Amino acid sequence: MEHIITPKVEYVKLLNTYPEKKSALGTLYLTATHLIYVEQTNNNARTETWVLHHHILSVEKLPLTASGCPLLIRCKTFQLLHLLFQRERDCQDVFQSLLRLSQPVKEEELYAFLYNPHQNEEDRRQGWEFISVANDFSRMGLSNEYWEISHLNKNYEICSTYPSILGLPKNASVAVVTGSAKFRSRGRLPVLSYYHKDTKAALCRCSQPLSGLTSRCVEDEQMLQAISQANSNCPFIYVVDTRPKLNAMANRAAGKGYENEDNYSNIRFQFQGIENIHIMRNSLQKLLEVCSMKSPSMSDYLTGLENSGWLRHIKSVMDAGVFLAKAVCDERVSVLVHCSDGWDRTAQVCSLACILLDPYYRTIKGLMVLIEKEWISFGHKFSHRCGHLDTDPKEVSPVFTQFLECVWQLSEQFPCVFEFNERYLIEIHNQVYACQYGNFIGNCQKERLDMRLHEKTFSLWPYLLKNQHLYRNPLYRRSLESTVLRPSTLPLHFKFWCGMYNHYDRGMHPKQSVLDQLLSLTQKQVEGERTMTELQRQLAVADGVLPDPSGPINTPAEQDSPSEKTPTAPVVQSNGSCAPLINGDAEEAGPGAEKCNEKEGADPGATEHDLTSSEDKPVSVETEHSKEEVHESS
């Protein structure tokens, strides 16, 4: 709290992105964790905008204007707040406070260390154990004839940024493992990422070899051979360097580099050409400039989109992921993937290949497992890449965001194969930057252990699971689940993700949401089925087929009164509701200005949920159940 100079400023204007719209007038509050803007509207309704300090990317004071002192706040969630203060002094105070609040220096200042979602220690422990990488290894069928779960890295001595348990080929000796680790950048030796039961082909990951111009390492060569031998279907393995060839060659001069095909028996070497973190950071920067342009022409927008290179990079990640999945599934070849350190591009393409190969990772829980496995435990440097703390800005890069976008691009091509919807991806993205839960704090498992995150913070996953009804994809069909995804990677099949990068420009989104409609219908379906069963029972009782357990039959009608409403159209909630809106920006774009209509603004899904008591058992279970019935009856 010591950083807050002025906790409350009145008469602050929130300027609209669209110049023709009227801006809001309201009060700004600073709390220890949030910036809150409360808009005072004429009918005494309140619209609240809450912004977590950790979500603030930058605060910028713009030149003084006749109407006041403007302050521009950019968020890591791609929200943009343009505030206008009446007094220069207030603006300066808020500016100073936010600069400090948005850039915590020490880990302990992160929100997760304050936040308690009303859980006891037992809940906390269970929450952390909920997603287990070890379980996922068993799901893949490990240990088996070829692969085993090894505890060699128990104390993080072989590789400090790797998890404590590793999947290794059975016939790799300890000497080979440790020797290979010494020949790899930061000791990140080749280990199992995913084992494909049907083809026995494995997806493995590591960092670049310290081959320099001439060095070689017998143990590393034996390690790759061990991986190759673990797959009897094929005499060779692919070694995929996800970097552009030029970058990899430059690394050779520094004693790193890539595998020399002549030194390894039976490898096929491949470059994939995904650019480095700096190029990705700049690309996003350019993309966001396009997103925040004021009334751009179509030409400005398309040219900007092209010049940002963003979709080109997304395509390069997708292409690499598709290559891996094809190798494993169609060619039955094991693949070893690396980039430089093996924690950015390698994480992207391995996790993407897993999604393409295995329907489990397309479920709500499966995606959690995948993120836990390929990203968190394999040491993707979340703290550095997301800039949780005030550290080197050159370490920040949207690597994880790109992965989420690739998943979204896939969901656009395959609308029925993901259990979750777009909101799940966006929520995960927000949570990664929010530091409200401990999962994405720190850069590797060892760091997290040292920070004692499991004792001091809570896990995000139980929270997401509790709210999973919001994240369901109503079109999800289990019958399709066994299929391997073969997406098209033609440029014209990649779209700009408006839902993410212009998330807070509500006016740009469709005014009626098919997703909300269908979610509310599936909700209704659950209630309808429940009511029907109850009515059938009552009829049976009335007919005398069933004995009457509870006396006369006039109570049920009252009991069911909430569901009486269900056959009618979704209940409409007007925009002027008192419920705090996390994001009060309900404006529209374009010349079709002004409030469009109250009906479209409301969220039919939200009101539907209010109708059902949340004490009922998890909605999801019901939906799953009823959905299966649907398939049977059809």
Partner 1 sequence: MEFAELIKTPRVDGVVLHRPFMPTVEGTLCLTGHHLILSSRQDNTEELWLLHANIDSIEKRFVGSLGTIIVKCKDLRVIQLDIPGMEECLNIASSIEALSTLDSVSLMYPFFYRPLFEVIEDGWQLFVPEEAFKDLESMTDEWRLSEVNKDFSVCPSYPSLLTVPKDIDDESLCKAASFRHGGRFPVLSYYHKKNGMVMMRAAQPLTGTNGRRCKEDEKLINATLCAGKRGYIIDTRTIAVAQQAKARGGGFEQEANYPQWRRIHKAIERSNVLQESLIKLVESCNDQSHSMDRWLSKLEASNWQSNVKEILTTACLAAQCIDREGASVLVHGTEGTDSTLQVTSLAQIILDPSCRTIRGFEALIEREWLQAGHPFQQRCAQSAYSNGKPRSEAPVFLLFLDCVWQILRQFPCSFQFNENFLIMLFEHTYASQFSTFLGNSVAERVKLLLSQKTVSLWSWVNRPQELERFLNPLYEPNNLVIWPSVAPQSLQLWEGVFLRWNRSTKCLDEAYQEMVHIIEYNKELQNKVNSLRRQLAQLETEDSPLQTP
Per CB under 8 A, which region of 86-94, 294-302, 346-354, 366-374 contacts partner 1? 294-302
Q: To the nearest whole angstrom, how small is the minimum distance from the Cβ of residue 109 to partner 1? A: 36
**Tokens 């900007």 belong to residue:** 304
Q: To the nearest whole angstrom, how small is the minimum distance from the Cβ of residue 304 to partner 1? A: 9
Q: To the nearest whole angstrom, how small is the minimum distance from the Cβ of residue 536 to partner 1? A: 7
Nearer to partner 1, 235 or 590 (CB): 590
Ligand-binding annotation for 616, yes or no, is no
Distance of CA 557 to the CA centre of its chain: 44
> Which among 79, 93, 97, 83 has a CA at the least distance from the CA of 32?
97
Contact at 8 Å (CB) between 394 and 278? Answer: yes
Work out whether 536 is an interface residue with partner 1 (CB under 8 A).
Answer: yes
Distance of CA 174 to the CA centre of its chain: 36
Instruction: State which of residues 265, 488, 555, 614 lies at the interface with partner 1 (CB under 8 A).
Output: 488
Nearer to partner 1, 563 or 583 (CB): 563
Nearer to partner 1, 234 or 518 (CB): 518
**How many angstroms separate the CA atoms of 79 and 57, rounded?**
10
> Which among 128, 17, 36, 79 has a CA at the least distance from the CA of 433?
79
Nearer to partner 1, 536 or 614 (CB): 536
For partner 1, what does the binding mask look like between residues 377 and 416, x meaning CB under 8 A?
A: ------------------------------------xxxx
The CA-to-CA distance between both ends of the chain, in Å, stands at 60
Strand, helix or coil for residue 506 = helix
**Tokens 């979610």 belong to residue:** 519
Ligand-binding annotation for 343, yes or no, is yes
Contacts of 441 (CB under 8 A, 6+ apart): 107, 110, 112, 382, 383, 388, 435, 448, 451, 453, 457
- 71-109 exposure pattern, b = at least 16 Cβ within 10 A, e = fewer: bebbbbbbbbbbbbbeeeebbbbbbebbebbbbbeebeb
Ligand-binding annotation for 505, yes or no, is no
Work out whether 518 is an interface residue with partner 1 (CB under 8 A).
Answer: yes
Work out whether 477 is an interface residue with partner 1 (CB under 8 A).
Answer: yes
Paired residues of 267 in beta bridges: 237
1-40 residues in contact with partner 1 (CB under 8 A) are none
Ligand-binding annotation for 340, yes or no, is yes
State residue 14 phi and psi, 5-degree precision.
-105, 110
Q: To the nearest whole angstrom, how small is the minimum distance from the Cβ of residue 573 to partner 1? A: 16
Instruction: State which of residues 148, 221, 358, 505 lies at the interface with partner 1 (CB under 8 A).
Output: 505
585-624 residues in contact with partner 1 (CB under 8 A) are 588-594, 596-597, 599-600
Q: To the nearest whole angstrom, how small is the minimum distance from the Cβ of residue 611 to partner 1? A: 15
Contact at 8 Å (CB) between 570 and 607? Answer: yes
Instruction: Identify the burial level of 214 via C-beta atoms within 10 angstroms of its C-beta, where 0-12 means exposed, 13-18 middle and 19 or more buried.
Output: exposed
**How many angstroms separate the CA atoms of 55 and 296, rounded?**
26
Q: To the nearest whole angstrom, how small is the minimum distance from the Cβ of residue 627 to partner 1? A: 9
**Is 339 among the catalytic positions?**
yes
Please state, in angstroms and as integers, the Cα–Cα distance from residue 378 to each residue in 154, 191, 347, 461, following that order: 14, 10, 8, 18
- How does strand 237-241 pair with strand 334-338? parallel
Of the candidates 159, 339, 350, 444, the residue annotated as catalytic is 339
Print the SS3 string covering 101-161. HCCCCCHHHCHHHCCCCCCCHHHHHHHHHCCCHHHHHHHHCCCCCCEEEECCCCCCCCCCC
Per CB under 8 A, which region of 4-12, 66-74, 148-156, 491-499 contacts partner 1? 491-499
Ligand-binding annotation for 344, yes or no, is yes
148-207 residues in contact with partner 1 (CB under 8 A) are none
For partner 1, what does the binding mask look like between residues 263 and 292, x meaning CB under 8 A?
A: ----------------------------x-
State residue 336 phi and psi, 5-degree precision.
-115, 125
Q: To the nearest whole angstrom, how small is the minimum distance from the Cβ of residue 245 to partner 1? A: 17
Q: To the nearest whole angstrom, how small is the minimum distance from the Cβ of residue 598 to partner 1? A: 9
For partner 1, what does the binding mask look like between residues 563 and 582, x meaning CB under 8 A?
A: x--xx-x-------------
Nearer to partner 1, 218 or 480 (CB): 480
Work out whether 302 is an interface residue with partner 1 (CB under 8 A).
Answer: yes
| Residue 3 structure tokens | 């950083």
Contact at 8 Å (CB) between 474 and 521? Answer: yes
331-360 residues in contact with partner 1 (CB under 8 A) are none
Instruction: State which of residues 459, 538, 612, 620 lies at the interface with partner 1 (CB under 8 A).
Output: 538
Work out whether 495 is an interface residue with partner 1 (CB under 8 A).
Answer: yes
Contact at 8 Å (CB) between 484 and 356? Answer: yes
Contact at 8 Å (CB) between 357 and 484? Answer: yes
Nearer to partner 1, 18 or 378 (CB): 18
Nearer to partner 1, 116 or 488 (CB): 488
Work out whether 305 is an interface residue with partner 1 (CB under 8 A).
Answer: yes
Q: To the nearest whole angstrom, how small is the minimum distance from the Cβ of residue 439 to partner 1? A: 31
Nearer to partner 1, 253 or 498 (CB): 498
Work out whether 540 is an interface residue with partner 1 (CB under 8 A).
Answer: no
Contacts of 158 (CB under 8 A, 6+ apart): 152, 177, 178, 181, 187, 189
Ligand-binding annotation for 341, yes or no, is yes
Instruction: State which of residues 134, 449, 480, 579 lies at the interface with partner 1 (CB under 8 A).
Output: 480
Binding residue positions for substrate: 276-277, 339-345
Residues annotated as catalytic are: 339
Binding residue positions: 276-277, 339-345
